[in-house]
Copies of this chain bind each other. A is one copy, B any other.
Amino acid sequence: MKGDNAMGAKVITIEQNILKKNEIAARENRELFRKHSVLAVNLLSSPGSGKTTLLVKTADYLKKNLSVAVAVGDLQTEVDAERIHQAGVPVVQINTGTACHLDAAMVQKSFSHIELEKTDILFIENVGNLVCPATFDLGEYRKVVLLSTAEGEEKPLKYPPIFQTADCICINKIDLLPFIDFNIVKCRENLHKTCPQALTFEFSCKTGDGLQNWCDWLMHQWKVLQDEG
């Protein structure tokens, strides 16, 4: 939220305080993840890009080698947690009420329901929102933005902050390419312009095409983290 005129300075101060408080909680989370050698991945996207489906499929790919857990944020319902639970993955639902993003303290509260010492990868599925979650560090090791082909190729240009802070961008629903006006070459160009620092994967959670590369990258990130530890 932004105010102007007389209220502006007060709003900015409050925002700075909130972000500073978040930073402290994020640092605590990061230390805890490191202590338990947990690869924490903050997964962000618009509503309906396929975050939950991706996590169900990814957990299935990784389960032979790694133990996966999920903390999932939504304004309301336990629909996503239920789907993940059905897939046999330990999951905790965080309901934010009207809040438009997860913050580090909310994630911290979920730890009482997750056995971090038995977890290799913790996915934190953020609230579906391509703006606000960009500002809140959760203490994650890697930040991943998911973009669905159905959303259009110009999203990185129109919502740059979230893309600019990402380690990795995943383009999902490539199975829809024959049926929609999505220019994937243009999308790659836009990603390269907006977030040249980020690795890109392209896949379909529905068909499974391309998911192996994404899972290999996660495995590699987990190994890097173990070597660092």
Hey, which bits of chain A sit against chain B, CB under 8 A? Answer: 1-4, 7, 10-11, 14-15, 17-18, 21, 46-48, 74-77, 79-80, 97-100, 105, 127-132, 135, 148, 150-152, 154-155, 157-161, 173, 175-176, 179-181, 206
Contacts and interface: CB of A to CB of B under 8 A. Distances in A.
A114 B135 CA distance: 33
B11 A18 contact: yes
Given A46-B48, A80-B158, 9 more contacts: A3-B14, A46-B151, A48-B148, A48-B151, A48-B152, A76-B158, A100-B129, A100-B132, A176-B180
B3 A15 contact: no
Contact of A132 (B131, B150, B176): B131
Contacts of A4: 105
Contacts of A130: 46-47, 128-129
14 contacts: A1-B1, A2-B97, A2-B99, A7-B14, A7-B18, A7-B21, A46-B151, A47-B155, A76-B157, A76-B160, A100-B132, A148-B150, A176-B179, A176-B180
**Which of A21, A75, A100, A157 has the most chain B CB atoms closer than 10 A to its own CB?**
A100
